[in-house]
Amino acid sequence: MNARLPIALTVAGSDSGGGAGIQADLKTFAALGVHGASAVTALTAQNTRGVRAIHVAPPAIVRAQIEAVLEDFDVRAIKIGMLGSAEVVEALAFSLLPLWEKVARASATDEGSAPSSALRRDPSSGQASPGHLPPQGGKGRATFVIYDPVMVASSGDALAGAGFVAAVRARLLPLVDCLTPNLAEAAALLGQAAAASEEEMTAQGRALLALGPRAVLMKGGHLAGAEAVDLLVTADGVRRFAAPRLASPNLHGTGCTLSSAIAAHIVLGAELGEAVAAAKAFVTAAIERGRGVTLGEGAGPLLPIPLR
């Protein structure tokens, strides 16, 4: 018997406290039966009280990690988290380019156009970079890309440098199948105030959709109310996902866990809406398991894997 495990790749920062980032992603993949590969974009020195230091990985090392994994593994989903710098964003975008070259070739065969029609040249480097890209699910593209745009830690510490937002908007968003910002992240990407209602969340989701991703999951956990409401915004409309709001001091890594759970369910065969619903239920259960657990003196993480 030669079994093949479903595989997802996380491209994110390392959390020395084990609650978010690469560590949360790999725990979530494992809990859902998916093999997790990883590319570390940054090393952080942090615990439950906050972030003490950050070392962003050299872009060439980030790119080498990603390309090594993609060359050997049948990766069906890529979850992107903390990137840390504009230069790492650039490296990631070029590492993902071969996925789109496959789509461009397939689209050209189907439509009789030139294979390079989905690409443009970067004037500074001469390398190909994403231009007008085929829609999600196009022939030849088997890898789902989800991006949780981590810019600030739950402790309030900044996790991204100068020029980061501009690089994300120009280089990365057109490559993304699903963007999963919280209200502060959506506001930063748009240069607006944070949404204060579901109507404003919808409007900002549509504005982000216009920047290139094929879907935007607006996370409304910071809105007031008895429910935690997320809105999935696509070209087809808006779908609302609600769950009871759980009072817990241990919410570190919630966004990482949600996006990696969506990636895992996509790998396992779910459609996007189904994956979001299943991931939200997974996160709700993880918050419930973790809210009575003490790991340090500050805010701890939710628990993707049940206590034994």
* Both structure tokens of 263: 């990636």
Q: Which amino acid is at 197?
A: S
- CA pair distance 221, 5, nearest whole angstrom: 33
Q: Are 298 and 15 in contact (CB under 8 A)?
A: no
**Residue 124, domain member (yes or no):** no
- pTM (two decimals): 0.87
Looking at the predicted structure, is the pLDDT value of residue 84 above 60? yes
**Residue 123, domain member (yes or no):** no
Looking at the predicted structure, is the pLDDT value of residue 117 above 90? no
Report H helices in 49-197.
Answer: 59-72, 86-111, 164-167, 183-190
- Residue-wise burial string across 239-250, b where 16 or more C-beta atoms lie within 10 A, e elsewhere: bebebebeebeb
Task: Give residue 185's pLDDT.
Answer: 94
**Distance set, CA 150 to CA 7, 79, 195, 247 (Å):** 23, 12, 17, 23
- CA pair distance 38, 31, nearest whole angstrom: 16
Task: Give residue 177's pLDDT.
Answer: 97
Of 35-49, 137-151, 238-252, the least confident: 137-151
- Residue-wise burial string across 286-307, b where 16 or more C-beta atoms lie within 10 A, e elsewhere: bbebbbeeebeebbbbbbbeee
3-state helix, strand, coil in the chain (%, to 5): 40, 25, 40
* Both structure tokens of 87: 């230069």
**Residue 274, domain member (yes or no):** yes
Element of type H or E holding 42? strand 35-47
- CA pair distance 215, 220, nearest whole angstrom: 16
- CA pair distance 289, 284, nearest whole angstrom: 9
**Residue 46, domain member (yes or no):** yes
Reported residue count of the chain is 308
Whole-angstrom distance between the N-terminal and C-terminal Cα of the chain? 31
Task: Give residue 73's pLDDT.
Answer: 95
Q: Which amino acid is at 293?
A: V
Q: Are 201 and 195 in contact (CB under 8 A)?
A: yes
Crossing angle (nearest 10°) for helices 198-209 and 183-190: 50
% the chain with pLDDT above 70: 82
Domain with 69 in it: what CATH number?
Answer: 3.40.1190.20
**Residue 301, domain member (yes or no):** no
**Residue 269, domain member (yes or no):** yes
121 alpha-carbon distance from chain centroid = 26
Looking at the predicted structure, is the pLDDT value of residue 29 above 90? yes
Going by their DSSP bridges, the two strands 119-121 and 50-56 should be labelled as unpaired
The residue range of the domain holding 182 is 7-113+137-290
Return the closest-CA partner of residue 6 out of 278, 266, 267. Answer: 267
**Distance set, CA 129 to CA 15, 94, 108, 125, 162 (Å):** 31, 7, 17, 10, 22
**Structural domain total, the chain:** 1
Looking at the predicted structure, is the pLDDT value of residue 22 above 90? yes
At residue 142 the predicted structure's pLDDT band, cuts being 50, 70 and 90, is: confident
At residue 119 the predicted structure's pLDDT band, cuts being 50, 70 and 90, is: very low
Task: Give residue 115's pLDDT.
Answer: 36
Task: Give residue 213's pLDDT.
Answer: 97
Looking at the predicted structure, is the pLDDT value of residue 307 above 90? no
